[in-house]
Amino acid sequence: MGQFGLGQAITRKEDARLITGRGRFTDDGPPPGCAHAVFLRSPHAHARIRSLDCTRALSMPGVLAILTGAELDAAGIGPLPCTTLYENRDGTPMAAPERPVLARERVRFVGDPVAAVIAETPHAARDAAETILVDYDPLAAIVDTGRALDPEAPQIWPEAPGNLALDWETGDAEAVDRRFAAAHRVLELTLVNNRIVVNPMETRACLAEYDPGTDRLTLTVGSQGVHGMQRILAEKVLRIPREKLRVVTRDVGGAFGMKIFVFPEYPVCLHAARILRRPVRWVAERTESFLADTHGRDHVTTVSIAVDADGRMTAIRASAIANLGAYLSQVGPFIPTECGAYMYTGVYRFEAAHYRVRCVFTNTAPVDAYRGAGRPEAAYAVERAVDFAARELGCDPIAFRRRNFVPPAAMPYRTALGYTYDSGDFPRLLDAALARADVAGFAGRRQAAAAAGRLLGLGVAYYIERCAGGSPEEARLELRPDGRLRLYIGTQNNGQGHETAYAQIVADRLGLPFADIEVVQGDTDLVASGRGTGGSRSIPIGGAAVLRAGERLVARARERAAEMLEAATTDIGFAEGSFFILGTDRRLSLVEVAAAAGGLEESDSFQPEAPTFPNGCHVCELSIDRATGVPRIERYTVVDDFGVVVNPALLAGQVHGGLAQGIGQALLERTVYDPESGQLLSGSLMDYVLPRADDLPAFDFDWVVIPCRTNPLGVKGAGEAGAIGAPPAVINAVVDALAGYGIHHVDMPATPHRLWRLLERVGALLA
Amino acid sequence: MRRRLRFVLGSEPRELGEVEPTLTVLEYLRRIEHRRGTKEGCAEGDCGACTVLVGRPVEGRMCYRAVNACILFLPMLDGCRLLTVEDLRAPDGSLHPVQRAMVEAHASQCGFCTPGFVMALYALYRERGVARETPIAEWLAGNLCRCTGYGPILEAAQRMHAVAQGADHLEAREAETVARLESWQDGETLAVGREGRMFFAPADIGSLARLLIEHPDATLIGGATDVGLWVTKQHRRPHPLIWTGRVAELTRVEDTGDGLSIGAAATYRDVLDRLAALYPDAGRVIRRIGSVQIRNLGTIGGNIANGSPIGDSPPLLIAAGARLRLRRGNRCREVPLESFFLDYGRQDRRPGEFVEAVVVSGPGPGTLFRAYKISKRFDQDISSVFAAFRIDLDGGRIASARLAYGGMAPVPKRAELAEAALVGRPWKRQTVEAAMAALERDFTPIDDWRASAGYRMTVARNLLMKCWLESSGEIRRRLDLAAEVADG
């Protein structure tokens, strides 16, 4: 293993530009003559549009065009598709109302775009937008997930009576019923998985350009993969041949699932560029980002667990209401169904499991993927319910988990919901985490905290998730005669460090200098295909494709080397970037071979036969101030199994970032829509609490390598894990801190206010 | 009048004749200078992605402050040096120690917030003395990152001094900058603008007074941390603007023997240590106003003069017994600070008049002074309720009491009935309880999205009790933490 090989914590290629301010994000450098788009958005959560009058706005100085739903319809643009539609459990199709690019007739959430003004300057566009007259007839709104199905709730879509979009299930209900009937105890818990505003630091933005000569459009946009964006925008929304749209993604300032999707602003800007024959740029203000990005989570779930007389969990049943927002987002219905549904057995030997979810419409921003996408919801429900069950049964939650774990000897293990875990050693990771967290010393620390007026709690969560399954990824390697290698791949870096990680894989296997490897992503003209980044798939699938392409390149070069060395191919060895005749010192470097061949080029793809199942144990020690209710994380320990590790520093970065988001969800981030007016009350960084530097503890992170058996690199996806494990670990710690006062559950976010009220209610407040 | 704006960008001088008065430094950098390393994350001074350094010569050396470029107007750079992330690399292309520390600690992921963190850390790097005293998390309260979880950035902050070897390339060539900026220091009023929209920056108090008489409807700005948001959030373009930041007399903080005279253009940063020396609690709450970047811009005078009912400085200074010095032309008058606030949005400031200074005396031997900022979070938040109390004890009796509140009325206001319930009585629980009851008649707070009326009243009462409990030793611990009132 070389200095830049696999497993080395080398510093990032990306940093050379990002640290010096030379990164190039979507809005860094609009072309000359660029026009500016501003969107007029609904101020109402729910209203009929009686009329829309742009006359005055059109006469304002600097205005170039105003687009409304009517213009887009006339141009044959839209609607925005949902690509993941399901059948209800009774076999009928789900409600799938169309989502227009710009609202017509009705608006359904605060921030719903109604019109776009394109003008010479952003100021001119904004001034004009203010003069558009929209006559709204406000209607009653429903924003609350838990009440969307109530018979008296305001109705949003005629296609979806009772606001029910989809009633979906998986698992064996009868088998579960039988075990519940035979159970020694049944424990049931209802919990809220709070809505999250994604808030990447770079808001969404796009630049649309049109070349009349070739009748070709180019969209520069912060995405998680240009090919999906190209396919949907061209074929489904603009209805033009795919090759007539080039999509480019440069540096992306954070995405977290949300930047996968086609949003209304993109086709509007493209159409505007086409009719104006000018570049058109749009950048979301932070408040627009709050209002009109897709949000994450927002489930209310009831989980029941059947336990036999020996304290073994036999069956689990979960029933969720999942908020999809006002419209079906691109993969909105996928998140609470197939994306997370099959994880409701966790790391335990449930004999039977059943999960049902009712997806509902509300007058809120559409909900879609956010770091983890469905799996955090499952892990939170399972790990809270298991912890709750243990406590109700009077068992130690750690011992209870251990007793119910799928044992390592059972691997590969097929779960009651049909997944096969290829590998995993849960007891080993649990022990490692408990040792690192010094759980043995917890009782003493709890006593010391009590003396200082703080309630100390210990929370353990053992998450497992599914990632990096499904679609293939292709990698193309171009080794030029001068020895420089270019890797073309259709995943998309959003901060994970792909350029570094892929270059490491190439450097390791091809023996080329790390500095000579360039990674090319984010341009449909340069990269032939790709499925993008999401679901922690880039290294497990993309990395495997890189590895395979590298192997092909070496095989091709070996043949050339054999000719050049006048030996049989089978007598040619390859190591550290050079071919040699076995048993001799005659050698040729890969670069020499490439030079002689005038360059070498190979590509290959990898499609996993199964997803990977990263898993790990989180231990959170948290104290609550008995006078103020303020929680503080005192220690946080994670031991993960991500299989083989490519770059420990990048890995730690992914875990830390995920933890920050998971802890943010558990303690700080609260998205509030006013229940009456449907206004987003937490609509700025002043009102919505993103974790700051002093909100987070130092993390103790370690890993155990249990190689994945279904992936040639042996890696398991790592991008989402922290955000999946943290919420249950933190809330389990909160509940443990309060358990002495008969508190069994606290919903997220466990803010000081919420905790203070609880302390007050149970008489635990320190006066 | 000088019709050209002069500043140094990196190491290049800039002279601009035509300038939109409310053009932000961020927009100027990105759109006109094509320096796109500085980012917009929120356009309201919350996220810090736009952090840049503004330096001025002070006693022959450059003094740099990290500020938010997103709400800073370009003409406010007059006579300054602006440093952005693009300036940090050495001429040979090598990374600055701050940047090296960031790389080595893996402190960047998506890279969008990174330039802002680099510049915030560079400010800390240049203020090595401050670095030892200020917790790094406090220093970085004005910078948000969604990717890293902050640990690696804090590590970079620790590491950068170890990476450093002597003066960096910017420090090494600083004499040149100092000389240039000093040579630019003139007594002329800067007057720049565009299409009749003007920005004035007088250099002395007489010129300021004359300008205000000529332009009584001008918007007077100190740090523009509020007016900046009118521009970026409400899309207003106020003009003419008159900026106080160059007026030498107004930027001073002077010792008066028994207290301080704080020039209206002195920033929170300028005042913090000196006011904290008089009243430690004042330091404690000022440290929580905005962030480092905001405190480097925002002025005490601006916080008073804009008349917000939820500004933190007015109740703080009212309780301390401050007086406000106002000036119109050559005529000055002094009023008790509390009488400056007439009604919501209305102050006792006549056309052409401006706040010159706020004069505050120190505590006496029997003074008890407490200040409490109650907000949803510790840093970077607007108060739901702000309370400051000055209670002068004579033996066990209350000789005088000044209880000032923010967020309880349309203006910052003293609780006169509660004060009356205290004065002349012993400093005892029963007295305090009587004053708490009187508070109900002093105030009729309103419900808004920050807090309900009931919450405000409960907190206002309880803060008085808290003050007594702390002073009487019944609770030893200061409960520093912000209360969360989102559901309140």
Domains of chain B (ranges, CATH numbers): 5-86+174-243 (3.10.20.30), 97-167 (1.10.150.120), 368-475 (3.30.390.50)
Mean pLDDT of A170-193: 98
Query: pLDDT digits over A139-156, tens only?
Result: 999 999 999 999 999 999
Residue B444 above 90 pLDDT?
yes
Distance from C-alpha of A579 to C-alpha of A591, rounded to nearest angstrom: 10
| Nearest chain A alpha carbon to B465 | A767
**CB-CB neighbors (< 8 A) of B474 in chain A:** none
Residue A207 above 90 pLDDT?
yes
| Of residues B406, B256, B268, B270, the one with CA closest to residue B334 | B256
Say what the pLDDT of residue A44 is: 98
Confidence at B481, pLDDT banded by 50, 70, 90: very low
Distance from C-alpha of A414 to C-alpha of A350, rounded to nearest angstrom: 11
Instruction: Say if the Cβ atoms of A684 and B46 lie within 8 Å.
Output: yes
Residue B409 above 70 pLDDT?
yes
Mean pLDDT of B191-211: 97
Segment 93-112 of chain B within 8 Å of chain A by CB:
95, 99, 102-104, 106, 108-112
Report which residue type is found at A157.
W
- Of B110, B376, B379, nearest to A254 by CB-CB distance is B110
Backbone angles phi, psi at B433, to 5 degrees: -65, -35
* B5, two tokens: 């704006």
Residue A522 above 80 pLDDT?
yes
- Is B35 within 8 Å of chain A by CB? yes
User: What average pLDDT does chain B have?
Assistant: 93
Mean pLDDT of B69-93: 97
Say what the pLDDT of residue A733 is: 98
Query: pLDDT digits over B302-346, tens only?
Result: 999 998 888 999 999 999 999 999 999 999 999 999 999 999 999
User: What average pLDDT does chain A have?
Assistant: 96
Instruction: Say if the Cβ atoms of B37 and A20 lie within 8 Å.
Output: yes
Say what the pLDDT of residue A510 is: 95
| Percentage above 70 pLDDT, chain A | 99
- Is B184 within 8 Å of chain A by CB? no
Structural domain boundaries in chain A: 13-23+470-606, 35-139+199-292, 295-468+611-761
Say what the pLDDT of residue B162 is: 80
Chain A nearest C-alpha distance from B258 (Å) = 37
Mean pLDDT of A541-552: 94
Query: pLDDT digits over B30-71, tens only?
Result: 999 999 999 999 999 999 999 999 999 999 999 999 999 999
Domain A295-468+611-761 = CATH 3.30.365.10: yes
Distance from C-alpha of B103 to C-alpha of B94, rounded to nearest angstrom: 12
Confidence at A752, pLDDT banded by 50, 70, 90: very high
**CATH dotted code for A13-23+470-606:** 3.30.365.10
Distance from C-alpha of B427 to C-alpha of A122, rounded to nearest angstrom: 60
Mean pLDDT of A117-146: 97
- Is B46 within 8 Å of chain A by CB? yes
Mean pLDDT of A687-697: 93
Residue partners of A158: CB distance under 8 A and separation at least 6: none
Is the alpha carbon torsion for B291, B295, B297, B303 positive or negative?
Answer: positive
Instruction: Say if the Cβ atoms of B146 and A199 lie within 8 Å.
Output: yes
Instruction: Say if the Cβ atoms of A123 and B88 lie within 8 Å.
Output: no
Confidence at B116, pLDDT banded by 50, 70, 90: very high
Instruction: Say if the Cβ atoms of A650 and B106 lie within 8 Å.
Output: yes
ipTM associated with this complex: 0.96
Distance from C-alpha of B275 to C-alpha of B253, rounded to nearest angstrom: 10
Q: Tell me whether the CATH fold assigned to A13-23+470-606 matches the one assigned to A35-139+199-292.
A: no
- Is B137 within 8 Å of chain A by CB? yes
Chain B nearest C-alpha distance from A27 (Å) = 9
Say what the pLDDT of residue B450 is: 84
Residue B485 above 70 pLDDT?
no
- Of the residues A8, A18, A637, the best mutation for testing chain B's interface (the one with the most B CB atoms within 10 Å of its CB) is A18
Mean pLDDT of B275-289: 94
Residue A587 above 70 pLDDT?
yes
Give how far Cα A608 sits from Cα of A473, A715, B483, Å: 9, 12, 50
- Of the residues B112, B163, B232, the best mutation for testing chain A's interface (the one with the most A CB atoms within 10 Å of its CB) is B112
Confidence at B482, pLDDT banded by 50, 70, 90: very low
Residue B487 above 50 pLDDT?
no
Helices B97-104 and B114-126, interaxial angle, to 10°?
Answer: 130
Residue A481 above 80 pLDDT?
yes
Distance from C-alpha of A327 to C-alpha of A200, rounded to nearest angstrom: 22
Say what the pLDDT of residue B486 is: 31
Report which residue type is found at A418.
G
Say what the pLDDT of residue A335 is: 98
Considering the entire predicted model, what is its pTM? 0.96
Chain B nearest C-alpha distance from A409 (Å) = 36
* B423, two tokens: 């004065």
Residue B188 is classified by DSSP as P
Confirm if B389 and B319 have CB atoms less than 8 A apart.
yes
Residue B251: half-sphere exposure toward Cβ, Cα within 13 Å: 16
Segment 462-481 of chain B within 8 Å of chain A by CB:
477, 479, 481
Confirm if A369 and A390 have CB atoms less than 8 A apart.
no
Mean pLDDT of A567-590: 94
| Nearest chain A alpha carbon to B115 | A21
Give the lowest-confidence range in A7-16, A67-76, B351-360.
A7-16
Residue partners of B473: CB distance under 8 A and separation at least 6: none
Mean pLDDT of A498-519: 94
* DSSP run (H or E) holding A660: helix A648-663
Residue B488 above 50 pLDDT?
no
Instruction: Say if the Cβ atoms of B486 and A18 lie within 8 Å.
Output: no
Whose structure tokens read 């096969």? A420
Whose structure tokens read 């600083």? B174
A35-139+199-292 falls under which CATH superfamily? Aldehyde oxidase/xanthine dehydrogenase, a/b hammerhead (3.90.1170.50)
Segment 437-466 of chain B within 8 Å of chain A by CB:
449
Residue A346 above 60 pLDDT?
yes
Say what the pLDDT of residue A6 is: 81
Residue B375 above 80 pLDDT?
yes
| Of residues B26, B28, B36, B27, the one with CA closest to residue B5 | B28
Residue B213 above 90 pLDDT?
yes
Residue A574 above 80 pLDDT?
yes
Say what the pLDDT of residue B476 is: 53
Say what the pLDDT of residue B172 is: 87
Say what the pLDDT of residue B130 is: 63
Give how far Cα B129 sits from Cα of B23, B41, B154, B160, Å: 34, 30, 17, 14
| Nearest chain B alpha carbon to A630 | B481
**CB-CB neighbors (< 8 A) of A258 in chain B:** none
Chain B nearest C-alpha distance from A6 (Å) = 17
Distance from C-alpha of B241 to C-alpha of A279, rounded to nearest angstrom: 34
Q: Which is more confident, B476 or A15?
A: A15
